[in-house]
């Protein structure tokens, strides 16, 4: 019978990670109860024990890259309490729930945190690093790429579902001469977005997408679809189709999963994005079937690794002026969040998609833009 430590060592042996080893990606264990905790609690226990200071890794992003590359996240045997937690999460996801929960628990944490982390553009989504030399350039390049993909023209009226701090709308108003409406479920985002977009033909509202009315030349949704929920995918796409003019284009940017699932990682769901769910290619396909023509599907997953590392660098650099408001435990939680996600994208365990959709097919065809 193998001891808990021996069982964890055997699992880590598949990744090249050593317990208390000399490499930057090796795990340094400070509490010997960690091994039994991991065997009974899986990924939730891994994250919580890190926040509790039970272990550390010098290069946390590389640690997770190796974990995901070896699919170790799928090989841990979960105890019944963890299985029941998954089932509870699944059942809850099928019930009606307030769309504003994610705003209150994540995006309303504090504008000071996000301003310190995200850079000048305040864009909380993957940048486009093809020719960019830094985060601000990558985010601006992403905005411009989206504009080209939806064939944005001066005078257009566009909708941004999940507009955040108004970054994209501010960009298009200043650079393309368009009007726009942005909606978000975060009160803090609305307040700052209105301030940043003051004087521009931009309207920002605290609103659920399902209550929207009107017609728009084009629609974008950049990093919001992850919060919609599987049961709402079809409703979401039907609403977008209703709001989009017949000759308009819809650009959906979303993180995507390689596999269809009804569950979210329990640590991410508990501490970072409550009730979130990454869609798969199949799930998106079913949601748009009969509603849209898929014009283009662009995978920028590798770019999210660079974006997350840049966010962490900003967060870490600005921590001295943030720590009077946020606890040391928060620092470890946020570090774990950013660097574990970077490792996951680096291992190509999850993806980042930009999907261009039309209602009836773009006249003359659609030219893919990269």
> Rounded to whole angstroms, how far apart are CA atoms 325 and 330?
10
CB 28 within 8 A of CB 18: no
Give the residues across from 221 on adjacent strands: 252
Burial class (CB in 10 A: 0-12, 13-18, 19+), 141: middle
33 is written with which tokens? 């109860």
191 is written with which tokens? 């307040």
Catalytic: 341?
yes
Give the residues across from 206 on adjacent strands: 184
Q: How, if at all, do strands 293-299 and 216-222 pair?
A: unpaired
Alpha-carbon distance values, 137 to 119, 127, 272, 327, 368 (Å): 10, 8, 27, 31, 22
Q: Mention every residue, 6+ apart, whose C-beta is less than 8 A from residue 315.
A: 113, 116, 117, 322, 334, 335, 338
Element (H, E) at 295: strand 293-299
CB 55 within 8 A of CB 28: yes
> Of 39, 34, 72, 66, which is closest to residue 53 (Cα–Cα)?
34
Exactly one of 126, 147, 197, 341 is catalytic; which is it? 341
* Helix, strand, coil distribution of the chain in percent, nearest 5: 50, 15, 35
> Of 98, 219, 222, 104, which is closest to residue 166 (Cα–Cα)?
222
Enumerate the active-site residues: 341
């Amino acid at each position: 019978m193998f001891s808990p430590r021996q069982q964890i060592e055997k699992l880590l042996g598949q990744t090249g990670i050593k317990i208390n080893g000399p490499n930057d990606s090796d795990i340094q264990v400070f509490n010997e109860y960690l091994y039994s905790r991991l065997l009974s609690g899986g990924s939730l226990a891994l994250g919580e024990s890190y926040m509790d200071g039970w272990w550390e890794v010098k290069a946390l992003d590389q640690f997770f890259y190796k974990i995901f590359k070896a699919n170790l996240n799928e090989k841990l045997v979960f105890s019944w309490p963890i299985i029941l937690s998954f089932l509870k999460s699944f059942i809850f996801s099928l019930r009606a729930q307030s769309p504003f929960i994610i705003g209150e628990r994540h995006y309303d944490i504090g504008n000071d945190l996000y301003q310190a982390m995200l850079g000048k553009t305040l864009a909380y989504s993957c940048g486009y690093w093809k020719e960019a030399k830094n985060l601000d350039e990558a985010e601006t390049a992403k905005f411009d790429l989206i504009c080209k993909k939806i064939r944005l023209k001066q005078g257009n009226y566009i909708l941004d579902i999940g507009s955040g701090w108004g970054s994209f709308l501010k960009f298009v108003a200043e650079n393309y001469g368009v009007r726009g409406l942005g909606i978000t479920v975060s009160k803090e985002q609305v307040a700052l977005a209105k301030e940043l977009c003051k004087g521009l033909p931009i309207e920002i509202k605290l609103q659920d997408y399902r209550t929207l009315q009107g017609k728009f030349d084009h629609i974008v949704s950049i990093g919001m679809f992850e919060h919609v929920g599987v049961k709402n995918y079809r409703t979401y796409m039907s609403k977008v189709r209703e709001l989009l003019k017949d000759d308009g284009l819809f650009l959906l940017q979303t993180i995507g999963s390689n596999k269809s699932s009804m569950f979210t990682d329990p640590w991410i769901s508990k501490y970072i994005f409550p009730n979130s769910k990454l869609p798969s290619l199949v799930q998106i396909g079913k949601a748009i079937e009969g509603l849209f023509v898929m014009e283009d599907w662009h995978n920028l997953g590798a770019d999210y690794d660079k974006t997350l590392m840049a966010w962490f660098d900003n967060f870490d650099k600005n921590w001295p002026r943030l720590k009077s408001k946020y606890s040391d435990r928060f620092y470890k939680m946020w570090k774990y969040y950013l660097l574990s996600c970077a490792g996951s994208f680096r291992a190509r365990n999850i993806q980042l998609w930009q999907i261009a959709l039309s209602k009836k097919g773009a006249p003359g065809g659609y030219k893919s833009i990269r």
